[in-house]
Amino acid sequence: MRLSLRARAEPEVNMTSLIDVVLLLLIFFMVSTSFVKQSQISIRLPEAESASVVEEVPVQIDIMITEQGTYLVNNRELVNSRPETIRNALQKVSGGDSSLPLTISADANARHQHVVTAMDVAGKLGFTKISIATINDPVEQ
């Protein structure tokens, strides 16, 4: 018995069916994809009839105390020296922003109590950047 070895045929991968499946999937995804249109809302904004002046909040608040005990907040004299008046003036000038730096300057002959009152009111309002202004005596230099 004579057995002969046959030549082995190289296996082939049939790419036709693979290409058909890929193209069918591509067509399926293209047809089933919905393209969403972004909706837009048209808004009609109101217009100002007159330009209003906006008061800018200062970058620093100055409290000056005269020899007579009169308080000036940012160079505006207060009607009296009661702590409530000082508090209202500081709230109005700062716009509620207690992070602004506050400088207290007093006349050399002003009572110490006036300076302490200004510091107390500022502290109760939450001001933490409080400084006391001094001037150097020109004779000592």
Number of domains comprising the chain = 1
Closest CA to 99 of 119, 122, 71, 76: 122
Asked if residue 12 is part of any domain, the answer here is no
Asked if residue 89 is part of any domain, the answer here is yes
pLDDT-based confidence at 141, cuts 50/70/90?
A: very low
Asked if residue 70 is part of any domain, the answer here is yes
Closest CA to 127 of 71, 63, 50: 63
Asked if residue 45 is part of any domain, the answer here is no
| CATH number of the domain within which 107 lies | 3.30.420.270
Predicted confidence (pLDDT) at residue 22 exceeds the cutoff of 90: yes
Cα–Cα distances (Å) from 70 to 60, 120, 138, 140, in that order, read: 20, 16, 26, 29
Which range of residues forms the domain containing residue 115? 61-133
Over residues 40-92, the pLDDT tens digits come to 667 676 676 766 666 665 578 899 998 888 999 988 899 988 999 999 999 99
Are the CB atoms for 101 and 62 separated by under 8 Å?
no
Asked if residue 66 is part of any domain, the answer here is yes
Asked if residue 117 is part of any domain, the answer here is yes
Asked if residue 39 is part of any domain, the answer here is no
Asked if residue 80 is part of any domain, the answer here is yes
Dihedral pair phi/psi, residue 62, rounded to 5°: -115, 130
pLDDT-based confidence at 23, cuts 50/70/90?
A: very high
Q: What is residue 21's predicted lDDT score, i.e. its pLDDT?
A: 93
Q: Cα separation of 74 and 32, whole Å?
A: 70
